[in-house]
Each structure stands twice: as C-alpha cells, then as structure tokens.
Amino acid sequence: MDIIRRTPDYHLYRRSRTPVWLALSWRALLALALIGVALAVHWFDREGLRQSSGEPVTFADILYFTMITVTTVGYGDIVPVTQQSRMFDTFVVTPIRLFVWLIFLGTAYDFLLKRVWGRWRMSVIQRQLRDHVVIAGFGNSGSEAASELIRRGAHPDTIVVIDESPAALRNAEALDVAVMEGNATRDAALQAVRVGTARALIVAAGRDDTSILIVLTARRIAPALPISVVIRSLDNEAIARQAGADTVINPASFAGLLLAGSTHGVHLADYMADLAATDGRVALRERCVTAEEIGIPLRAITTGLGHRIYRGGTMIGFWEPGANRLEAGDVILEVVPAPGQDTDGPA
C-alpha cells in the first residue's frame, strides 16, 4: 500500500508491502543487467563497430557507445557497420532501451509522483471517512480488538489506529489498517481520524487516566458515538461511565467471571468463551426489532434465542413481563449460530 508520512497536521498512512530499499535494488539490478547484456555483445562483436575518427574501438569506447545507445539513440561518432551489428541494435538494444526507460520512469513515478498522488488520495480518504472503527491505543487489548474485527469480517480499510508509539504503529501496519501517530486525548488528533463520523471508538490506552481522558474528549466531539473502553482498575469503571463510555471492560474482572463460573459448572466458562470467540459455535448479535416482530414476545423471534431487550435506556430480561411484547424501537440481544454452523443441529 501507499505510504503517507505523518506531518504535524495529522495524516493517515498505510504500510508499503515492499521495502523501499528492496524495490530500488531490484530495479537498479535489472537495469544494470540489461545494460550488461548490450555491453557484452557489443564487446564480442566490436569488429562490427567503427569510429568516425577511424581509431580502433577500445573497451572504453564500447562502454561509452553502449550507454549512449541504451539511453538515447547515439551521436553518430560510433556506428554499427555490419549486418549482424545492425540487427543486434535493432532487435535487442532498442527493446533494452525501452525497458530501461520504463524502469527509470516507473521508479520516478513510484518514489516521486506516486507519493504525491498517494498523499493527496489519503487526504481525500481521510476527509471522507465514514462508518469506520477508531482504535485509540495499540497495546495488547487494541491489537487483539483489531485482529478480532478483521476475523469477524471487517475490512482493514475500515479500521483506523491512533497511537503515539512508532513501534505500536508498526505492529498495526502489519494488519494493513490505516494508522496515525498522535495523542488521542487531543481534539485535533480525534478530529483528524473523523471520530465524529465513526461507527465506534475503542479506547485501550493502557492507562486508566489516559483512557478516561480520551473518552471525555471523544464524547465532547461526538455525543452519539458508541465508545468502548478498557479499564484495569475496578474503582475507575464508574468514572469511565460518567466520562461517557457506553461499554466498560475490565480484563481482570472478565477473567474472574470466567474462573468463578467454572467452579459452578464445567461448561459455563466454556460457553461464555464460545460466545466471545470468533471460531465459536454460537455468537451474540445486537439488532433492532423488525416491523414483523412488533407485538410478538421475545421468545417467539425466529432469528435466534432472544436474551435481552433494550427499550428507552432500560434493559429487559427475557423472563421479565416487558419481554412479552416487542415494541418499535426495541434493540434485541440474541444468541445466533456462528457462520458456517449447521442450523439444523443444536448450538
């Protein structure tokens, strides 16, 4: 992919699949190899060349004639005089000349014009970012979130990673996502990744105070943006929610839930992990109620097993009276078979 290096104005960039030094080396070697072929044949067939001055043709003359002929059409001071030399220049040197010029022009395009074009194109993409996922912080949690999004079918182009660490951004580039070096606690950085038009923001800065400040900044810019944040201290979970986070995840608490659940049944933790894993047999899905489902109970939906209803900011369990009739605007949380599972069998 094209690279656009960061500027103080905050620009996105993506990893180039081929290192610059390797691309330049291959092109230089190919050009030298082509010139070397022409040089070798001219040397062995030097009897077919004549100088206008009448002097004998030396190796320096052959080198000069080869370079001039490959890069231009020659100056006429050295000319082929035999049919064999003329045929070689016609059918071998001329194609070599064209290939060498294509290599030079291609290199100029890739490393000069293409960079300018790429910078302009990425700036256009940056201005038109819509329905993307922004990941602020690319440590363990952020990298796992990006990988999981891709495993779940998200295209890397719809994921933007922002971090201050060049090492973290190099790891993100390996996933072919767009990256930006910057401080996500600042308005300018979040506005540069168009957080206001994003589908969701995942905050995993590694420090609770930094993560909460990012949430505060993002919530002020995008009041309706779904924000999920990783918080490591139990005392800071309530603060993160007050800052505007919709979802607060504590890795230690979640691990504790799995461990505690395993003591009450060997299959409880297994099923919870199955719900969370990409390759599990079942998956959780959140969706809006359809027009055909209005008026029926939650247990009667046919798309999956209904677990919860979110109605006007209130959570309703499947066992509660409010679940006996679905209403317009309800959001349903259901368990569905994972893609590729046989829906005729049990989940």
CATH of the domain at 184: 3.40.50.720
Within a domain: 182: yes
Statement to judge: residues 57 and 108 lie in one domain: yes
CB atoms within 10 A of CB 251: 14
pLDDT of residue 284 exceeding 80, the answer is: yes
The residue among 274 and 304 whose pLDDT is bigger is 304
Statement to judge: residues 86 and 107 lie in one domain: yes
Within a domain: 260: no
Write the single-letter amino acid at 86: R
Within a domain: 80: yes
Task: Show which of 79, 108, 127 is a domain's final residue.
Answer: 127
Task: Show which of 127, 150, 169 is a domain's final residue.
Answer: 127
Statement to judge: residues 31 and 103 lie in one domain: yes
3-class SS shares of the chain: helix, strand, coil, % to 5: 50, 15, 35
Name the domain count of the chain. 3
The domain in which residue 59 lies consists of: 20-127
Within a domain: 295: yes
Mean pLDDT on 112-125 = 64
* Nearest alpha-carbon partner for 205 in 182, 188, 221: 182
Statement to judge: residues 111 and 147 lie in one domain: no
Mean pLDDT on 15-33 = 71
Which of 10-14, 215-219, 248-252 is the most confident on average?
A: 215-219
Statement to judge: residues 34 and 107 lie in one domain: yes
Statement to judge: residues 41 and 112 lie in one domain: yes
Statement to judge: residues 200 and 101 lie in one domain: no
Statement to judge: residues 111 and 158 lie in one domain: no
Helix (H) or strand (E) holding 270: helix 268-276
Within a domain: 15: no
Within a domain: 176: yes
pLDDT of residue 341 exceeding 70, the answer is: no
Q: CA-to-CA distance for 335 and 70, rounded, in angstroms?
A: 69
Within a domain: 95: yes
Dihedral pair phi/psi, residue 6, rounded to 5°: -65, 140
- Average predicted confidence (pLDDT) for the chain: 82
Statement to judge: residues 28 and 77 lie in one domain: yes
What per-residue confidence (pLDDT) applies to 251?
Answer: 82
Task: Show which of 71, 99, 127 is a domain's final residue.
Answer: 127
* Nearest alpha-carbon partner for 6 in 193, 218, 196, 198: 193
Maximal CA-CA distance, the chain: 109
Mean pLDDT on 293-315 = 92
Statement to judge: residues 137 and 245 lie in one domain: yes
Decide if 229 contacts 211 (C-beta within 8 A).
yes
DSSP track, 52-69: TT-PPP-HHHHHHHHHHH
CA distances from 241 to 184, 237, 255 (A): 18, 6, 20
Residue 130 binned pLDDT confidence (cut-offs 50, 70, 90): confident
CATH of the domain at 110: 1.10.287
Length of the chain: 347
Residue 327 binned pLDDT confidence (cut-offs 50, 70, 90): very high
Give the residue ranges of DSSP H helices in 166-236: 166-173, 187-192, 208-221
Statement to judge: residues 339 and 303 lie in one domain: yes
Within a domain: 305: yes
